[in-house]
Amino acid sequence: VEFLYCDLASMKSIRQFVQRFRAKNCPLHVLVNNAGVMLVPERKTEDGFEEHFGLNYLGHFLLTNLLLDTLEQSGTHSHNARIITVSSATHYVGKLHLNDLQSRYSYSPHGAYAQSKLALVLFTYRLQHLLTANGSHVTANVVDPGVVNTELYKHVFWVVKVVKWMTAWLFFKTPEQGASTSIYAAVSPEMEGVGGCYLYNEERTKSADVAYDEDLQRRLWTESCKMVGISDESSRVP
């Protein structure tokens, strides 16, 4: 195991990380996008993005796009490189406000978090479409880890924290259990060559209906490229 620092809330840090990784000339067979914050008070990243959207979504969007070349070079016909992005069941109630992705007009921690998790699902489906269109030996899937007992809940109300403390052993997954579906997506032979899936408890399941809206997927991708400052090469793909 080798550690390389990367702050997903900083576009500069992400670009520096990618430079350091590429300098090692290593193949990249699996990328797991797992960083995140939840229900944080209204605040911005150093790039001026609302924190849920900037860290949970845009950070992973930029990181994945900057590493795509390496992933495509690493994948083969019999052993595809794999991209796994961790979303949440919260995406089912999420709404994507393309005219206000930064929640500037009306901020709600729950709404901003749900929007970021919906964006990750839309991103994954669009990414898989582009990978398939380009004939890339790379697959992209999105994972719902379930309700996991981690520090992600540190910003919830104190009453919820007490209830969580009392019931975690019964209703919450351990971090190891929460990671199982991501590991399944990353290494299972059953997922070889399979992309564009929403996975829960190591099984393919249906995501929110709005996540399958291809026009919304395209529009979010185009807007995301503008926000992180990369060219939108997907514009040539229907």
Q: Spot the catalytic one: 5, 57, 92, 113.
A: 113
In a domain, 118, yes or no: yes
Check whether 162 has a pLDDT greater than 70.
no
Angular region, 163: left φ>0, alpha ψ -120 to 50, beta rest: alpha
In a domain, 100, yes or no: yes
In a domain, 4, yes or no: no
Check whether 166 has a pLDDT greater than 50.
no
In a domain, 106, yes or no: yes
In a domain, 153, yes or no: yes
Average pLDDT over residues 215-230: 97
What are 130-159's pLDDT values in tens digits?
999 999 999 999 998 865 444 544 444 434
Check whether 170 has a pLDDT greater than 70.
no
Domain containing 83: what range? Answer: 11-236
| CATH code for the domain of 224 | 3.40.50.720
In a domain, 63, yes or no: yes
Round to whole Å and give the CA distance between 34 and 86: 5
The count of C-alpha atoms lying within 13 angstroms of the C-alpha of 30, restricted to the half-sphere facing its C-beta, is 12
In a domain, 1, yes or no: no
5 annotated active-site: no
In a domain, 3, yes or no: no
Higher-confidence residue of 236 and 101: namely 101
- Domains held by the chain: number: 1
- 2: CB partners within 8 A, 6+ apart: none
Average pLDDT over residues 222-228: 96
Check whether 194 has a pLDDT greater than 80.
yes
Round to whole Å and give the CA distance between 57 and 49: 11
Q: pTM to 2 decimals?
A: 0.88
Q: Are 32 and 86 in contact, with CB atoms under 8 Å apart?
A: yes
